[in-house]
A and B are shown apart, each in its own frame.
Chain A
């Protein structure tokens, strides 16, 4: 976490310097809008006002309209990847059937949801996954046959685990939430999702 803080501070420092060097007209609207938002919201259910405080990554994505300059993006991605906690026993694949249930659910974290776990993985909201589920979103790429196409060896398992744990490890301003990083999905749930995507027995690869 210390590492993360350093980088975050660094990012802020960079941001501040660039702002000072080349002020942009929209920067002013942006800070005014954010101030307005912070003034206009109220806590409800589990959704507290702290949710409007942006962390370093959100700050950078907001600042650069989701396209941070490459050196900064590389730095932050590495930093995010460093936050991924892999299971101590090294086992990254769980039960794809459990994974399917998690992928189906979109519940969790809204002010009408009960606080606490488990929350859903929201996967079908954005991805095509099992061929049996026709009601899928297209915000993210299709994951159909992903295990068949890209293998299911240890490296691939590790990649998928880390991608679900913290999607920003690979694409800093990705639209995908950081499910493990923010504590939405626990280790066991992510393992089940890895199995849903990579297990040869999973309908995803049939």
Chain B
């Protein structure tokens, strides 16, 4: 940089410093979507209503229950190199072996691990630390495919099922959780990659859609529940059981980011932010997804 441009930089910086304070109050510069043609809007609403009507029918008998049953078996069985049961060794935050209500009170801080952990991360931690499974082997096949469902997916589904109809209450009074929440908020807003996308690009405003799919504004309490409700979810496409860890992973894929490492700090931070935003809402249990 030559002398001349430094001089310009300084003068601009001075101008910016005064402009900076006012910048935050300005409404977003993105143009407001014009109203869509009435015929198209009507069609959309009919479709959405139809989806919702039949979603109820399908939730009445959800194949997710099959995975809850499998997860219960895995929780109670003595397994792994150390041949111990998670039910006898694993603390999900409410005491060893206590499952009821644990799901809606996570992510939370675990002193034994020195980390804030979401449910899946905690279960994997227990499988590794208590049962002696290999973390690398678990991370090699983290999510369900059309040929196999990882044990931790069924375990998450079981644990989630035992928080059905309970209120989401991430312990945000805990300073450790608060700190991770703030980091998650920043991860949510971070734009990068070839398309300049952040989570917030699609999930930071209310009332928008990608194709026919309604996008929740996950920064708003009323809508944040939608990142939580229905997970873990039985996904109709492929007929497989998927967790929130998977959801975050696949969002980053569509964001054109590289892949978040399985059960990493970043994913926990994001889940802490999203779940705490949904605090106070009622969780309905494992769901069904498109």
Interfacial residues, chain A to chain B (CB-CB below 8 A): 6, 9-10, 13-14, 17-18, 21-22, 26, 29-30, 32-34, 36-37, 39-44, 47-49, 51-54, 57-58, 61-62, 64-72, 75, 109-112, 124-126, 128, 131, 134-142, 144, 168, 171, 173-175, 177-178, 182, 184
Q: What is the CB-to-nearest-CB distance from B192 to chain A, in angstroms, rounded to a whole number?
A: 5
Shortest Cβ-Cβ A-B pairs, 8 listed: A33-B186, A69-B19, A177-B195, A40-B266, A40-B264, A17-B13, A44-B259, A13-B9
In contact, A10 and B211 (Cβ under 8 angstroms) = no
Given contacts A29-B182, A29-B183, A144-B37, contact A6 B5 (CB under 8 A): yes
Contact assessment for A135 and B211 in the assembled complex, using a CB-CB cutoff below 8 Å: yes
The chain A residue with its CB closest to the CB of B188 is: A33
Instruction: Please pick, from A21, A33, A110, A141, the residue contacting B183 in the complex, using a CB distance under 8 A.
Output: A33
Provided the pairs A110-B256, A124-B211 are in contact, do residues A10 and B12 lie with their beta carbons within 8 angstroms? yes
Q: List 12 A-B contacts (CB under 8 A).
A: A13-B1, A33-B186, A51-B258, A66-B191, A71-B19, A110-B256, A128-B37, A137-B210, A138-B33, A139-B209, A174-B29, A174-B30
Kindly identify which residue among B24, B197, B257 contacts A65, using a CB–CB cutoff of 8 Å: B24
B253 in contact (CB, < 8 A): yes
Are A131 and B40 also in contact (CB < 8 A) when A18-B16, A58-B191, A139-B202 are?
yes
Judging by beta carbons under 8 Å apart, are B16 and A41 in contact? no
Q: Which of B148-186 contact A (CB under 8 A)?
A: 182-186
Q: How far is the CA of A66 from the CA of B34 in the complex (A)?
A: 21
Q: Known: A67-B29, A142-B34, A177-B195. Contact between A18 and B209, CB under 8 A?
A: no
- Distance in angstroms from B252 CB to nearest chain A CB is 8
Pairwise interchain contact B195-A49, C-beta atoms closer than 8 A: no
Shortest Cβ distance from A7 into B: residue: B5
* Alpha-carbon distance A136/B6, docked complex (angstroms): 47
Q: Are A47 and B258 in contact (CB under 8 A)?
A: yes
Q: Is B147's CB within 8 Å of the partner chain A?
A: no
A36 adjacent to B187 (CB under 8 Å): yes
Kindly provide the distance from the CB of A10 to the nearest chain B CB, expressed in whole angstroms: 5
Binding site for A on B (CB under 8 A): 1, 5-6, 8-10, 12-13, 15-17, 19-20, 23-24, 26, 28-37, 40, 43-44, 182-187, 189-198, 201-202, 207-212, 215, 252-254, 256-261, 264-267, 269
Whether A18 and B13, one on each chain, are in contact in the complex, defined by CB atoms closer than 8 angstroms, is yes
B235 CB, nearest partner CB in chain A, Å: 16
B261 in complex: contacting residue of A41, A75, A141, CB < 8 Å: A41
A67 contact from B26, B40, B192, Cβ within 8 A: B26
Whole-angstrom distance between the alpha carbons of A178 and B260 in the complex?
24
User: Does B190 contact A178, Cβ atoms closer than 8 Å?
Assistant: no
Cβ B192 vs Cβ A51 within 8 A: yes
CB-CB under 8 A from A37, the residues of chain B are 187, 190, 266
A62/B195 in contact, CB under 8 A:
no
Extra inter-chain contacts (5) besides given A62-B189, A69-B15, CB under 8 Å: A13-B6, A14-B16, A71-B16, A138-B36, A171-B29
- Cβ of A39: which chain B residues have Cβ within 8 Å of it? 265
Q: Using known A-B contacts A67-B26, A139-B210, A177-B195, determine if residue A9 contacts B1 with beta carbons closer than 8 Å.
A: yes
Q: How far is the CB of B242 from chain A (nearest CB, A)?
A: 15
Q: How far is the CA of A142 from the CA of B253 in the complex (A)?
A: 26
Expressed in whole angstroms, the minimum distance between the Cβ of B180 and any Cβ of chain A is 10
